[in-house]
Structure 1
Amino acid sequence: MSGLVFITGASSGIGQALADRYARAGWRLALVARRTEAMDAWALERGLGRGQYAIYGADVGAVDSIVAAGHACLAGQGLPDVVIANAGISQGVDTSQREDLDVMARSFAVNTVGLAATFQPFIEAMVRRGSGTLVGIASVAGVRGLPGHGAYCASKAAAISYCESLRGELRPTGVRVLTLSPGYVATPLTARNRYPMPFLMQPADFADAAFRAIASGAGHRVIPWQMAWVARVLRVLPDAWFDRLLAGQPRKHRHNEG
């Protein structure tokens, strides 16, 4: 089956890999990014015709901006079959520093509120149609809090709970909600991490697995499968054991650190 897929954060990393995977499967693309020039160059490099894609410039962290992009897609390309809320940011925080509260606020604006705002323009039309899939990209980091990573972990935990709530609300309508929780993927978000990243995946490998998961009808999928087992263990690990496990581990770098 092919159709129209709407993807945020499409200019790099996971989002670009997902766009490439759907393009290879013959889907039409609605691509959202702040860097529209990069998206134009990417589409030209892959030889995509103008009828195959459209690019919408938007800031997912600004509700009116991403909602406007959704409405522009509805007007220009129609109602998507799949909406992937992929855009995200990841910066370390030190709560003792006032400026890092702004980093936390921005993290929630993009990773949580921006995810909901990505879905919002399409829900009523999908419900009327009786079909559609809303995909929220969360993270295994949403399972437990990691040192210096409070903004990202908390915003992704909120994204997981939000998608779970929305899935229950929309279940009777025929509209599916899927949460994808990646482990470590080699993207600009992880390039500066200074701690071990087990089972690190390439974006194209993640996109292949995500493409299959979206088609499968799953409700929540951790990718890769090895990280699903790690997530299960972390979820039930006693706090004292978890604290000892992370003792002495490097913190996530802050926004102003090299």
Structure 2
Amino acid sequence: MPRLVYITGASSGIGQALALQYYQEGWSLALVARRVEELTAWAESQRLAPSRWRVYRADVSDIADITATGRRCIEEQGLPDVVIANAGISIGMDTAVEEDLAVMQRIYATNNVGMAATFQPFVTPMRERRSGTLVGIASVAGVRGLPGHGAYSSSKAAVFTYCESLRGECRPDGVRVVTIAPGYIDTPLTRQNRYRMPFLMQPEAFAKRAFEAIEAGARVRFIPWQMGVVARVMHVLPGAVFDRLLVGRPRKHRQGE
């Protein structure tokens, strides 16, 4: 039987690229998205064998919805070997604008609570089986806070520490937790950015490297590797130097801009 991967946010961008990469490697797919019709049309256009994929409609920011979807996957396809909590949103915010607080709430609900809720149905059965891999998608933007990225950067910083905590909890039971931190990937999400994006990578190339990192059981992997160097430099820069470097940097688009 082919191994099974469960991927949220699979209807576009890196989620879709990861789905295709896993399929090409011989895996079966459990694909989760809000836009089920769009995802189904994509799978059919790729001529994926019907016996090797299934689509589930769910909103990861709705705890009851996404946890029920995980349980349904186990019932219908079996316990996955890999679960990738990929669904996420990136919107700029300005703390001086009251309505942007709701944007922050929505980002945390999706990027953080949604990640934990995605993993929740699988943790106990993977521990009982003593195998499995949980994958959190972080971002280089989570290494330091960037102007206009207050919600997104902090949500991705939380992914690093949340996955580290979960790794310590699951490791004694044979369950691996992998954190993948993309740099700039050419997706509909990043094409709206109004600032320079060094080492921009195509989603297919990202998916191949992410697959390799997950298979290797990497603790944390920055992709592409150049952004890992950038992340290390950002991490050790003194605050005063970092602040000066950000002066005049374009801010991320806010909702509606």
| TM-score normalised by length of structure 2 | 0.99
Q: Deviations over 1:1-40 (max 9, x none)?
A: 9500000000000000000000111100000000000111
Q: Quote the residue 2:177 is aligned against.
A: 177
**2:201 matched residue in structure 1:** 201
1:140-160 deviation per Cα after TM superposition (whole angstroms, max 9, x unaligned): 100000000100000000111
In the other structure, the counterpart of 1:186 is 186
Report the secondary structure of 1:103's partner residue. helix
Partner of 2:121: 121
The residue aligned with 1:145 is 145
User: What's the secondary structure of 2:106's corresponding residue?
Assistant: helix
SS of 1:98's equivalent in the other structure is coil
CA offsets per residue over residues 74-109 of structure 1, 9 Å max, x none? Answer: 110000000000000000001111110000000000
CA distance in 1, matches of 2:48, 2:228: 35
Aligned to 1:248: 248
Given that 1:2 and 1:25 are in contact with CA atoms closer than 8 Å, whether structure 2 keeps it comes out as no
How many Å separate the matches in 1 of 2:205 and 2:48? 22
Query: Which amino acid in the other structure matches residue 59 of structure 1?
Result: D
Q: Does 1:97 align with 2:104?
A: no
Query: Secondary structure at the residue paired with 2:192?
Result: coil
Post-superposition CA distance 1:164-203 (Å, at most 9, x none): 0000111111000000000000111111100111000010
How far apart, CA to CA, are the structure 2 residues paired with 1:250 and 1:224? 23
Shift of residue 51, structure 1, vs aligned partner? 1.2
Work out the CA distance in 2 between the residues paired with 1:69 and 1:231.
35
Q: Residue deviations 1:110-160, cap 9 Å, x none?
A: 001101111000000000000000000010100000000100000000111
Shift of 1:256: 1.4
Deviation at 1:46, TM superposition (A): 1.3
**Matched letter for residue 252 of structure 2:** K
Gapped runs of 5+ residues in structure 2? none
Q: Which runs of 5+ in 1 are unaligned?
A: none
CA RMSD of aligned residues (A): 0.9
Q: Secondary structure at the match of 2:187?
A: coil
Structure 1 residue 161 and structure 2 residue 161: aligned? yes
C-alpha distance in structure 2 between counterparts of 1:200 and 1:223, whole Å: 10
Match of 1:14 in 2: 14
- Amino acid aligned to 1:247: V
For residues 38 and 55 of structure 1, what CA distance do their matches in structure 2 show? Answer: 10
3-state SS, counterpart of residue 145 of structure 1: coil
What residue in structure 2 maps to residue 106 of structure 1?
106
Supply the distance in 2 between the matched residues of 1:2 and 1:206 (Cα, whole angstroms): 23
Report how many aligned residue pairs link the two structures.
257
- SS of 1:177 mapped into structure 2: strand
- Distance across 2 between alignment mates of 1:70 and 1:221: 25
Matched AA of 1:92: G
Residue of structure 2 in register with 1:83 after alignment: 83
TM-score (norm 1): 0.98
- Pair 1:136 & 2:133 matched: no
Find the residue that maps to 1:210 and give its secondary structure.
helix
Letter in 2 for 1:48: L
- Structure 2 distance, partners of 1:199, 1:65, is 37
Distance 1:123 1:3 in 2: 17
Partner of residue 232, structure 2: 232
Alignment of 1:37 with 2:37, yes or no, is yes
Aligned partners of 2:7, 2:136: CA distance in 1, in Å? 10
Distance 2:50 2:172 in 1: 36
Instruction: State the Cα distance separating 1:48 from its structure 2 match.
Output: 1.6
In structure 2, what is the equivalent of residue 66 of structure 1? 66
Letter in 2 for 1:16: Q
